[in-house]
Chain A
């Protein structure tokens, strides 16, 4: 069972890889976010326009407080823009209601957090199955084998029945990535996924992302780590709520790159 799931994932990768740099997947236009919780309203995003194509590995880079988290939260629909439009995979995210948004997000974007955020009372494999449960993806009886296949991809099968508290930070983050992949979403969004990990572990997690991009996923990732930032296919520099600079480079490491 595991093997067949694995094959189907590989299949997806080949299929998507052939049409890399395909259609635009994420489209932000005139995106503005104003926080009015303080004494004076604060504009965190000042009219962002951005198009991310299918298969890109995008890194958001910038100083603390520049607006990276705010921006990625707009893409995932975790937070709402004050004005402007967010269209992801053809869906106008800014226009969705709370419930539709949650269901849409569960199938379209896998979210990875800095602090892993595994549910403490569920085992590793149950954490991975949870999004399938919420979005009713796969037949109930097949979910566990799909989840095990994902854990195999992130090399966490051995720990499948442990509770998160028994895992190291790097292990927890790999489980969190497997959970983000549970419903086979086209996009992964990660806010400083390596921020809480040592450099070796961070390297392993980043490696996993590179592998996923080669399999055809589109990834948007916030990072502080300059070394890692240098390895994404498209680095966006954020300053004071604006994208001020952009660098593109081919995907490094083994496998086909993009040019």
Chain B
């Protein structure tokens, strides 16, 4: 038999099952949050750290005219180059299934048969590729054999595609080719399909002839030796390759991409999410600490007489303090039993989910040891730290004081300001008035509970505002582009010819064609910015609604004058009147900035007059994209129009590389932002759960402490129903108060969150306060707090006069 003082701990745990449950749950939530946040993040980082360097990310990618293996070897021999590889990449249209000999389905009949874009990539030998390596799953032929394609894993985010399926590719010559999907590969450097809206398929070089492509590379990926390479150095080196290695061999460079060395393009989003989650973890921890303080101080107060008796029969303060600390530690251990497995599971889920979204690759099976150790520490230390002072105070009480406590609550009523205000509220039903009075009776606990619920309410309502801000951002971005469908071509096409086809397609009300190319901007220090795209369009275009920040928009007849967006203006410190040299399709062009427009999620853009640009490039009449307005602007309508346009252009012999609808693009953007919102919602839900557990815990304690009063009320004739009403009122009042306080904080907190996200993902976001979110939460919180008080209120209503008298 255990020593009785330790038995007492176990019995006390069992004697108050609901209180134990609530306390354990509130600690478990802290453990859970820490494990999911720190552990899940750690698992993601682990998978990233093992998969990203293993892929040997490129320090520079050059988009070029055709070249062969000997150039790759020449580049690889350059001092400072660790490895170089050639690739051929073409974007094609495909449909799922083997559609050879199948009648062309009427456009838009079934969504499943709509065509999509796939980037077909081939390398000399995928298995021995040394830069931006992709890794095929177990048992998948690598490199793929003739007639075979291996699909990048993230495709499953977008399309229902499996091993053994076939895809029918349109190589642009009017003949369809079927590729068999022999499995999946992971390419950490590929933009996940969910964001790019297109798939990536790996084929062997030999397959290219069959796809009507020259058996030559058009991309050069280069990895450098030095680990401490800066972006500028990499950029200068890429320019050196272009000018001194590729140009002498007659290879033209159309564009370059030099990422920040050793950083992943989704790193910013990942960091933003990790930051938010960390904030969530810390907040959940804080709140669970509050709840522990609340429960433990109530417990010690409730047992004050037992403390007195134990001291009277020889218990020292320290012995008694250890008993209660052991009780709290027992709560902690129970919480760990709940929190560790669930937290571990969800950390794994989170790592898989996040890893899938970000395409980081396989996550390790378990959370890292430090995260588990931290979670254990949190489960034991946070409650002990939170409980230490209430317990110390409670067990140091003198024996006389402890023994002469009556058990009636000693809180004073009738003095404070709030009490007087409440006294003025007349005409309320008696139980409701009593419920109100009770709410303010136990002020310390009320404050703790309110803080907890207010924090939760603030986060919930702020998340609603962040969500509406994200939606507004999507709308604002969409508002820029005043068209329904955009069609891109594999090669520049003749404007008059395509527009004739497009305008005679049913459902099309207007069309305009643009020139679209990558451009590279030479910096004074010799490095280059290859991020910008240049768009040549008619100055009077009504298909775009630019928001002018400074200067003027394009005018017909402008020569060598451009309008840039804020992205490039900020990156390069460009002002109105500045002149810079841009390289477009191998030609150096001097451009002067006459206007700056607001950039919005489309990267660095330079706008110029279409006629001027086509002349300057010597490609008169050639365009790369047509933007189209349609009669039906709904999602389905735009897709239908897209399908019709594609079919029409194909039959007229144009090779279409992509068809995107305005709503589809909004969805892609919304998806990207949606990840953040999803994580925020998870965060809000967890905090709301903590708040609700806190509220029910408080109500349970209140009922316990009021047992005697309830008995007295019953003795003087209060009905079960009215006692019930007293406690439900109390709960709802607390809930609604937390809503009111939370609503006050919602504006600054949500604005702060939006600004934080904006910084983290380097995308300008719009802000919109969500009134509907605030109203909705009022209803929800009132409902939830009513529900949270049901059980305590029911227990209260069941208190009999006899219980109250027997109660010690």
Q: Which residues does A use to contact B, with CB under 8 Å?
A: 73, 76, 78-79, 98-99, 102-103, 105-107, 110-111, 113, 115, 117, 119-122, 126-127, 129-131, 133-135, 140, 144, 165, 179-180, 182-183
| Cα–Cα, bound, A119→B310 (Å) | 9
Q: Does A73 contact B7, Cβ atoms closer than 8 Å?
A: no
Q: Does B312 contact A111, Cβ atoms closer than 8 Å?
A: yes
Q: How many Å from the CB of A131 to the closest CB on chain B? A: 5
| Cα–Cα, bound, A127→B309 (Å) | 11
Q: Does A135 contact B314, Cβ atoms closer than 8 Å?
A: yes
Q: What are the residues of chain B within 8 A of A119 when measuring CB–CB?
A: 8, 306, 309-310
Known A129-B4, A134-B319; contact A103-B314, beta-carbon cutoff 8 A: yes
Residues from 283 to 325 in B contacting A, C-beta threshold 8 Å: 305-306, 309-319
| Cα–Cα, bound, A131→B4 (Å) | 9
Q: What are the residues of chain A within 8 A of B7 when measuring CB–CB?
A: 122, 126
Among the listed A103, A121, A126, A180, which residue makes an inter-chain contact with B12, where contact means beta carbons less than 8 Å apart?
A121
| Cα–Cα, bound, A180→B312 (Å) | 10
| Cα–Cα, bound, A124→B233 (Å) | 82
Grouping DSSP codes into helix (H, G, I), strand (E, B) and loop, the A interface class, with mixed when no group exceeds half, is: helix
Q: Does B311 contact A73, Cβ atoms closer than 8 Å?
A: no
Known A111-B312, A134-B313; contact A79-B318, beta-carbon cutoff 8 A: no
Known A117-B305, A127-B4, A133-B4; contact A99-B316, beta-carbon cutoff 8 A: yes
Count how many chain B residues have C-beta atoms less than 8 Å from C-beta atoms of the other chain: 29
**Nearest A residue to B401, CB-CB:** A79
B5 at the interface (CB under 8 A from A): yes
Q: Does A131 contact B317, Cβ atoms closer than 8 Å?
A: no
Interface readout for B210-231 with A: 1 if CB under 8 Å, 0 if not?
Answer: 0000000000000000000000
| Cα–Cα, bound, A198→B316 (Å) | 34
Q: What are the residues of chain B within 8 A of A129 when measuring CB–CB?
A: 3-4
B808 at the interface (CB under 8 A from A): yes
Q: What are the residues of chain A within 8 A of B400 when measuring CB–CB?
A: 73, 78-79
Q: Does B317 contact A102, Cβ atoms closer than 8 Å?
A: yes
Q: How many Å from the CB of B324 to the closest CB on chain A? A: 13
Q: What are the residues of chain B within 8 A of A98 when measuring CB–CB?
A: 316-317, 396, 398
| Cα–Cα, bound, A130→B1 (Å) | 13
Q: Does B312 contact A78, Cβ atoms closer than 8 Å?
A: yes
Q: How many Å from the CB of B19 to the closest CB on chain A? A: 13
Q: How many Å from the CB of A179 to the closest CB on chain B? A: 6
| Cα–Cα, bound, A99→B400 (Å) | 15
Q: Does B306 contact A102, Cβ atoms closer than 8 Å?
A: no
Q: Does A105 contact B306, Cβ atoms closer than 8 Å?
A: no
Q: What are the residues of chain A within 8 A of B306 when measuring CB–CB?
A: 119-120
Q: Does B314 contact A102, Cβ atoms closer than 8 Å?
A: yes
Among the listed B3, B310, B311, B399, which residue makes an inter-chain contact with A140, where contact means beta carbons less than 8 Å apart?
B3
Q: How many Å from the CB of A118 to the closest CB on chain B? A: 8
| Cα–Cα, bound, A103→B399 (Å) | 13
**Nearest A residue to B12, CB-CB:** A121
Could you give 20 example pairs across A and B, Cβ below 8 Å? A102-B315, A102-B316, A106-B313, A111-B312, A113-B309, A113-B312, A113-B403, A119-B306, A120-B15, A122-B11, A126-B4, A129-B4, A130-B5, A130-B8, A130-B310, A130-B313, A134-B315, A134-B319, A165-B806, A180-B313
Q: Does B309 contact A134, Cβ atoms closer than 8 Å?
A: no
Interface readout for B783-808 with A: 1 if CB under 8 Å, 0 if not?
Answer: 00000000000000000000000101
| Cα–Cα, bound, A134→B6 (Å) | 11
Among the listed B15, B316, B403, which residue makes an inter-chain contact with A134, where contact means beta carbons less than 8 Å apart?
B316
**Nearest B residue to A144, CB-CB:** B1
**Nearest B residue to A99, CB-CB:** B316
| Cα–Cα, bound, A122→B12 (Å) | 9
| Cα–Cα, bound, A78→B15 (Å) | 29
Among the listed A78, A106, A120, which residue makes an inter-chain contact with B399, where contact means beta carbons less than 8 Å apart?
A78
| Cα–Cα, bound, A55→B400 (Å) | 27
| Cα–Cα, bound, A182→B315 (Å) | 13
| Cα–Cα, bound, A119→B398 (Å) | 18
Q: How many Å from the CB of A31 to the closest CB on chain B? A: 16
Q: Does A79 contact B399, Cβ atoms closer than 8 Å?
A: yes
Beyond A111-B313, A133-B3, list 5 extra A-B contacts (CB 8 Å): A73-B400, A99-B318, A103-B314, A119-B310, A120-B15
Question: What are the 4 A-B residue pairs with the smallest beta carbon separation, nearest first?
Answer: A106-B314, A121-B11, A126-B4, A134-B315
Tell me the total A-B contact number using a CB cutoff of 8 A.
89
Q: What are the residues of chain B within 8 A of A180 when measuring CB–CB?
A: 313
**Nearest A residue to B14, CB-CB:** A121
Residues from 241 to 279 in B contacting A, C-beta threshold 8 Å: none
Q: Does B8 contact A122, Cβ atoms closer than 8 Å?
A: yes
Q: Does B403 contact A130, Cβ atoms closer than 8 Å?
A: no
Q: How many Å from the CB of B7 to the closest CB on chain A? A: 6
| Cα–Cα, bound, A111→B312 (Å) | 7
| Cα–Cα, bound, A142→B42 (Å) | 52
Q: Does B313 contact A78, Cβ atoms closer than 8 Å?
A: no
Residues from 494 to 517 in B contacting A, C-beta threshold 8 Å: none
Q: What are the residues of chain B within 8 A of A179 when measuring CB–CB?
A: 313
| Cα–Cα, bound, A200→B319 (Å) | 38
Q: How many Å from the CB of A25 to the closest CB on chain B? A: 18
Q: What are the residues of chain B within 8 A of A73 when measuring CB–CB?
A: 400
| Cα–Cα, bound, A119→B305 (Å) | 10
| Cα–Cα, bound, A113→B12 (Å) | 22
| Cα–Cα, bound, A130→B806 (Å) | 23
Q: What are the residues of chain B within 8 A of A120 when measuring CB–CB?
A: 15, 306, 808
| Cα–Cα, bound, A180→B313 (Å) | 7
Q: What are the residues of chain B within 8 A of A131 when measuring CB–CB?
A: 313-314
| Cα–Cα, bound, A73→B311 (Å) | 13
**Nearest A residue to B15, CB-CB:** A121
| Cα–Cα, bound, A98→B145 (Å) | 86
Q: How many Å from the CB of B246 to the closest CB on chain A? A: 84
Known A120-B808, A121-B15, A122-B11; contact A78-B403, beta-carbon cutoff 8 A: yes
Among the listed B4, B15, B317, which residue makes an inter-chain contact with A130, where contact means beta carbons less than 8 Å apart?
B4
Q: How many Å from the CB of B74 to the closest CB on chain A? A: 84
| Cα–Cα, bound, A67→B590 (Å) | 105
Residues from 1 to 38 in B contacting A, C-beta threshold 8 Å: 1, 3-5, 7-8, 11-12, 15
Q: What are the residues of chain A within 8 A of B309 when measuring CB–CB?
A: 113, 117, 119
**Nearest B residue to A130, CB-CB:** B4
**Nearest A residue to B314, CB-CB:** A106
Q: How many Å from the CB of A173 to the closest CB on chain B? A: 14
Q: What are the residues of chain A within 8 A of B396 when measuring CB–CB?
A: 98
Q: What are the residues of chain A within 8 A of B8 when measuring CB–CB?
A: 119, 121-122, 126, 130
Q: What are the residues of chain A within 8 A of B319 when measuring CB–CB?
A: 134
| Cα–Cα, bound, A180→B314 (Å) | 10
Q: How many Å from the CB of B94 to the closest CB on chain A? A: 71
| Cα–Cα, bound, A194→B319 (Å) | 31
| Cα–Cα, bound, A66→B313 (Å) | 26
Q: What are the residues of chain A within 8 A of B11 when measuring CB–CB?
A: 121-122
| Cα–Cα, bound, A246→B314 (Å) | 31
Q: What are the residues of chain B within 8 A of A165 when measuring CB–CB?
A: 806
Q: How many Å from the CB of B310 to the closest CB on chain A? A: 7
Q: Does A102 contact B12, Cβ atoms closer than 8 Å?
A: no
Q: What are the residues of chain A within 8 A of B806 when measuring CB–CB?
A: 165
Q: How many Å from the CB of A136 to the closest CB on chain B? A: 10
Q: Does B312 contact A134, Cβ atoms closer than 8 Å?
A: no
**Nearest A residue to B318, CB-CB:** A99
Q: How many Å from the CB of B736 to the closest CB on chain A? A: 37
